[in-house]
Structure 1
Amino acid sequence: MVDPEKQPKVPVGYAQTKQARSCSIKRGLGIVGMALVAWWFLGRWTTGEHENVAPPLDVKEREKLFLSIPNGESIQATAKTFATHPHLAGSSQDFTDAKTMLKLFQDELGIRTPRSEPIFPAGTPKSRAATIALTEPYRSRSPTAWIDVYYPELDNPLGRSLDLLNEEGKSTWSVDLAEDGDPLDEDAFEYRDFIPAWHGFSGHGEAEGSLIYVNYGTKEIKRAEELGAAGVLLFSDPRDDGYVTVQNGFTAYPHGPARNPTSIQRGSAVYLSQQPGDPTTPGYPAYEHAKREKPTSIPKIPSLPISWKNAQRLLEEIEDIYADGTIINGRRRLSGKSSEAKVRMVNHVEYKITPIWNAMAAIPGHVKDEVVIIGCHRDAWVLGGADPISGTAALHEIVRGYGELLKQGWKPLRTILIASWDAEEHGLVGSTEYGEDFAEWISEHAVAYINVDVASSGSRWNVYGSPSLAHLIRNTALDVPHPVSKGKTLWDARDDEGPFKLNGSARVDVEYITNYERMEAKSAASKTGVSPLGSGSDYTVFLQRLGVASTDQGFGGTPYDAPYHYHSIYDSVRWQEVYADPGYHRHAAVARHLGLMAMRLTDSVIIPLNTTQYAFELEDYADSVERLALESKSSVNLSKLRSSISSLQKASIALDNEKAEAEEKFKDALSKLPHFPRCRAKFFAQVANWVKYFLGIRTSEPAEYFHPNRWEEYLSHQILDHEDVDLPKNPIFEFIKAAKRVSRANKKLIAFERGFVSEGGIKDREWYKHLGVAPGKWLGYGATTFPALSEAIAIDRDLTAARHEVARLVELLDKLAEQTGNFENK
């Protein structure tokens, strides 16, 4: 830490208390940072005629250089570094991977390796400072990297069994609960027994009873428990694999593209739509010695994942799982029959406090109080070739690209925070604990959160995000080449199909294709091509609790792709290279899009958030509510809600005009600044003298006392506490006024998403605070817009509650409109 007593002193023209100074600096930090934009722009647009140093790259050159960095060889190396061994959250392999990621951050960003490893237990001063100091005025200007250690309560499997019983209660068949691990996939073969097939956060216990088939069972373990089920068995059915099935003549993996019948989908049993993160520390961070609460978001009944091969045998015990051949709305009617034979299941798990490791890196920007966050989780159920190492490889390519830009003299306008999250698979634990730990800091400083998880598991590019990011997502995708088709862009990849061509006799399950066509129609109806975010990955805490505009993306499967062996040992490097992304071209495209989008969020003077798109999309949310009300025969008056939406639209259009004018004034003021001097220290000394002259401070103090790396402090004290004073008609002061106006517009753009956050949250799952969008209560990861209102109508069927939710939305939107459209003190 720098000793302030050893730094050159800065003259202060009036007394300030420590608290006042702190408030002054915090209040003015964004504006002071914007003053640094002068240096940032001038360093790019003007160069002293006698200087020999090559000027930094301009915007187009920076973007061209960045797009050239991601490549298949580098991505393959990252994949083999992380996805050729198991790395379950909290394991020794996971810790090793966290340190490997830390080393990658250090190497790529030119960070010196410190004497002691920067691994900090969460909640300690060093952990707190690593994040909070990023936005402090005297923070180091060099990139940093560290690891935060959280201590959630996680479970590990002890004993599991599943037996079919005869009338005497004796086992007639024991299910193997294992995957075959074909040696053709060497990594899957080597680690076939390394991670047992079980559910994270599952209920500890034993159960015995008859079998009953519930089809998709979309309400899964939570609703089964509520209805009195003794236990739950889950399996992946090949009928959801589209056309690429053994039934249609394809060979099973690893000898062909069809699903391996022994593959098992592990996963988390946590009630994610109720709350993510550590169930024993709801709403606050899982420090090592945190107070623990009795969890309410995990099941009490046991559950086990099983393979399709074993599920087939068990289903034979139920004579007819369907009532008849009738199909209603694309769904078969279930018989509701149960088996005569019973099964006994055992799921013994041990819950214990377990360390997890978030590997973090930061690139400080000129505007320190605005931060763009990029993240991907690192842990996997087994090997994680697609989930999450395809995303981790893409993240590494972004870091490599930024590292190369730094070597070329680039420094971002805003700060960039990069995260390799841990324990996502158990229930978004690492990101959630970080978000709860630094909630106030994130709410104050985060511009946007950019997520990647599965970068590649199929042929079609899928993208999700806040409506305010939709235009940026699309425009950036139009500037990224298509990964495999020349002459096309990444945006065109939204319509790509898989490679497997079929003959006329190929069959596909009617329920699967009905669901698929519904999703296709919903996507086609989108006005932006960007779907809303529900949950299921690490953006959840940022968007759904803290109100940070967020996005997620990746290539997924279609009916013509090889089935993805989700959370199986066969989610491997070999499967990725043979079927999902030969050559890693899709990985590279995702890296290019994410990194370029983050650069545009980082380096644009006006943050490219489109609040007007958001405001108009709310009309679609209201239309959806009216359809639900019609279907449930509820009479809900939405006229006041629509009026509030209209007011917000007008306010947002006014903000559009304000930000355009602010940017124009800023660029005009920038063009009138003095030519960028060769001697930066001399230039800053001149700034100091101008300020002192204006404030009536004597200028006799030697110029060398004005430390060039601390001029933000000087401006904080001398200018920003005099906001009501008319500045002289000097180019420097005109620029500062323009920068302040830009900063005010940017703060309104950032605050727009925050405006949907209600402290009261959503009924029965108050952890979720966003009243605009949330994961549906019974939709798994799927999004529900106006969630509290929609669920009051469709699920609770409570008209009084629905009217209350309308009133809450009206109050929230009216307040947001007032904040968005108020431009006093231009």
Structure 2
Amino acid sequence: MRPFFGIAAWMLCIAAAVPVWAAEFPLYGFDQAGSSRELSLEQTFLTLPTAQGAAQSIAALTAHSRFDGSWGDAQSARWLAERLRSFGWQTELAAFPATVESPKRLTLELLAPHPVRFELREATAGADAGIPFAYGSPDGDVRAPLVYANYGSVSDFAILAGADVAARGAIVLLRDGADSAAQAVRNAQAAGAVGAILYPDPADDGAGRGATVPAGPWRPEGSTRRLDVAARSPLRIPVLPVTPAVAQRLLQSIAGQPAPASWRGGLPAPYALGRGGSVHLDVVLRRRTAALVNVLATISGTEPGTAVVLGAHRDAWAYGAADDAGGVATLVEAARALGYLYGSGWRPKRSIVIAGLDGAETGAGGAVALALQHQLPARIAAYIACDTCITGARFEAGASAPLAGLLREITAAIPDGGGSTLSARWHGATGQPPRSGDAAVFAFQAGVATASPRFAGPFGVDGSALDDAAWMASFGDPGYARHRELAQIIGMLALRLADAGSLPQRWSAYDPVLEIGLRALSLSVKRNDLPLDLQPLRAAVRDFERSAARADARTAAGSLPDANQLDAAAALIAHGAAEPINVIYGGGNQILPSIAAPLAAGNEGRVEWGLEITAAALHDASNALERPTSSISPLP
């Protein structure tokens, strides 16, 4: 069966098709009395988060580097736990084991034509920021000629082969950014390379985009991006990130025909196709098992079997102001305000948990421990993510479809400081939940409804020691007003989700998404004359849409049990593959990914499997929504 090109474009999740609900009374999921109480409570809440408090939290968190397992990482856990405890939250440190790596020996030398031993530290980094390295790189000591391979895609290596430039036996120099670093290195490995050097090109996040630090938000040539290249199938070749300044000297050592125009970046170097001078790359990492820590702070609900979790990660590659001290600071402001309400007598129906996660930079270990290994005694009703959530002033958001309408309603209640509301300033559609990082574990593996509101802007210093408090104060959020507004949004989401009689999720929001997916699938099957029976899938979709409408009506009446919704969300995660699959949302904004992905690859047998598991998951979700009460244990 041949691959069917173009299917990914047809399977794009057109998020704008998800309807937007206007404000209503009574509030969705509340009765009239509950709505009045809730609106009054929310008006009080909005007055409590402050920009000054966020600035103070970021200053405290960025005082030290916080890489996983470091002293600064542990200190941030103690600081956050003490801070949340002072607001009246019940706080614990929940440990989980993780492999921690750090550089033992990193060497990069150009041996010919002119010997150079390169400085690998960033130009302006503090001593505790360490030397940039690639987490998950194997050890290796290699000497080989250098080959430039653009972003390291499969097509890039095909272009090299077509130009009679062999990557086999070479150390490849790659621009970091078009694909995941791990995938680019796997491609290099498959092409026979013996080592990989990655660098951020100024055309992508440096001077080619605008003014660089300290004059602007983009990356200067003395800064690089630390990398996570750990993979399910471990790499076999050593990997090292370097600065653009180092990459420029390496590029200048390669002679050959000019590279294609799309390969040429922003450095004053030839970007040639050829085998350059000999390079010595030596990578040796220390590895140990450490106990990393999630900080979990709880306001207990009157029905504590379910919890709304607000999460950000404390760890960072270095000082991590935007990634992710800003997220933690935002949650601290929301927690301070919620703690005040709790101290004044308010009691939520569902528990609310603030999660200061660890291990995010090296595989989302903290999210896995919380979402999949049940560090909480309660089932998680929703996860509100704040990961690299403030890098500018443009508001945007991703969310599981059932939460999209609630997110719109909340932003309509948040003043934007200019006489309008955030909703009026929010011109884009609600996208999918993030496909990477902590939020992805909840949305795509645990089956938890997830929302990720954020203020976006130019973030040229990702993964570097320049992501610090000075960058945030100068470029990310001068005045910290966006931190206050995001704390208001996240706290309001927590209040609405925790207080409602029934979880205020709109399951019918999946209808347009599923219809787009079905239409694209039907068109592809017809165009390619495939022997596929789509009728069972269509029947499952129609059954799910009818159940979703009835569930929404029960939610509006406050009579749909939480367990029905949580079981339905869990049912949409299919198991039995290499990893869990969300049958509605997939990578690259695919819809119905267990069908779309093998269809694009031409794997007919896998397409049949995808049709079966998707239909079965939709039927199971429908059954869960329809049950009068849940028959599934509280923790699956």
Q: Is the 8 A contact 1:611 1:752 kept in 2?
A: no
2:122 counterpart (179, 191, 212): 179
Aligned match of 2:238: 302
Aligned match of 2:108: 162
Helix, strand or coil for the counterpart of 1:644? helix
Aligned match of 1:403: 339
1:438 aligns with 2:377: no
1:68 aligns with 2:68: no
Tell me which amino acid in the other structure corresponds to 2:54: I
Measure how far apart 1:625 and its partner are: 4.7
String of CA shifts for 1:19-54, please: whole Å, max 9, x gaps: xxxxxxxxxxxxxxxxxxxxxx99x979xxxxxxxx
Aligned match of 1:58: 37
| Distance in 2 separating the partners of 1:321 and 1:214 | 13
1:803 counterpart (593, 604, 608): 608
Q: Is the 8 A contact 2:581 2:594 kept in 1?
A: no
2:453 counterpart (553, 560, 579): 553
| Distance in 1 separating the partners of 2:73 and 2:109 | 33
String of CA shifts for 1:448-480, please: whole Å, max 9, x gaps: 111111121123222111111111111111111
Aligned match of 1:772: 584
Q: Is the 8 A contact 1:439 1:546 kept in 2?
A: no
Q: List runs of 5+ in structure 1 lacking aligned partners.
A: 1-40, 47-56, 110-142, 182-187, 272-295, 328-333, 496-523, 664-741, 777-781
Aligned match of 1:199: 134
String of CA shifts for 1:725-775, please: whole Å, max 9, x gaps: xxxxxxxxxxxxxxxxx253x3322222112122313xxxx232433334x
Identify which range, 215-224 or 157-166, moves more after superposition: 215-224
TM-score (norm 1): 0.64
Identify which range, 749-758 or 618-627, moves more after superposition: 618-627
Runs (4+) off by over 6 Å: 627-635
1:259 aligns with 2:259: no
Aligned match of 2:397: 463
String of CA shifts for 1:147-184, please: whole Å, max 9, x gaps: 012221121110111111227xxx71122112111xxx
1:475 aligns with 2:409: yes
Helix, strand or coil for the counterpart of 2:280? strand
| Distance in 2 separating the partners of 1:77 and 1:595 | 19
Q: Is the 8 A contact 1:616 1:649 kept in 2?
A: no
Q: Is the 8 A contact 1:144 1:362 kept in 2?
A: yes
Tell me which amino acid in the other structure corresponds to 2:563: K
Aligned match of 2:80: 101
Tell me which amino acid in the other structure corresponds to 2:366: G
String of CA shifts for 1:601-648, please: whole Å, max 9, x gaps: 001112111111123322223345567779999665534323321221
| Distance in 2 separating the partners of 1:316 and 1:575 | 31
Q: 1:200 to 1:149 in 2, by over 3 A?
A: same
Q: Is the 8 A contact 2:64 2:128 kept in 1?
A: no
Q: List runs of 5+ in structure 2 lacking aligned partners.
A: 1-29, 153-178, 264-269, 631-636
Helix, strand or coil for the counterpart of 1:389? helix
| Distance in 2 separating the partners of 1:643 and 1:618 | 12
2:443 counterpart (543, 551, 560): 543
1:790 counterpart (587, 596, 620): 596
1:380 counterpart (316, 322, 342): 316
Q: 1:753 to 1:253 in 2, by over 3 A?
A: same
Whose radius of gyration is greater, 1 or 2?
1
Identify which range, 357-366 or 299-308, moves more after superposition: 299-308
Helix, strand or coil for the counterpart of 1:253? coil
Q: Is the 8 A contact 1:773 1:787 kept in 2?
A: yes
Q: 1:106 to 1:325 in 2, by over 3 A?
A: closer
Helix, strand or coil for the counterpart of 1:262? coil
Count residues with an aligned counterpart.
566
| Distance in 2 separating the partners of 1:318 and 1:488 | 56
Aligned match of 1:86: 65
Q: 1:628 to 1:73 in 2, by over 3 A?
A: farther
Q: 1:247 to 1:813 in 2, by over 3 A?
A: closer
String of CA shifts for 1:394-430, please: whole Å, max 9, x gaps: 0100110111111221111111122100111111011
Measure how far apart 1:374 and its partner are: 1.2
Helix, strand or coil for the counterpart of 1:148? strand
Map 1:562-641; keep pairs closer than 5 Å: 563-623=459-519, 625=521, 636-641=532-537
| Distance in 2 separating the partners of 1:633 and 1:206 | 52
String of CA shifts for 1:185-210, please: whole Å, max 9, x gaps: xxx4xx15632110122222123333
Aligned match of 1:231: 195
Q: 1:797 to 1:83 in 2, by over 3 A?
A: same
1:342 aligns with 2:278: yes
1:531 counterpart (398, 413, 431): 431
| Distance in 1 separating the partners of 2:262 and 2:425 | 37
RMSD: 3.0
String of CA shifts for 1:544-586, please: whole Å, max 9, x gaps: 22211112232222xxx4x430011110111111111100011
Helix, strand or coil for the counterpart of 1:346? strand
Measure how far apart 1:96 and its partner are: 1.4
| Distance in 2 separating the partners of 1:198 and 1:812 | 41
1:659 counterpart (555, 574, 577): 555
Q: 1:193 to 1:82 in 2, by over 3 A?
A: closer
Measure how far apart 1:323 and its partner are: 4.6
Same amino acid, percent of matched pairs? 25
| Distance in 1 separating the partners of 2:520 and 2:54 | 42
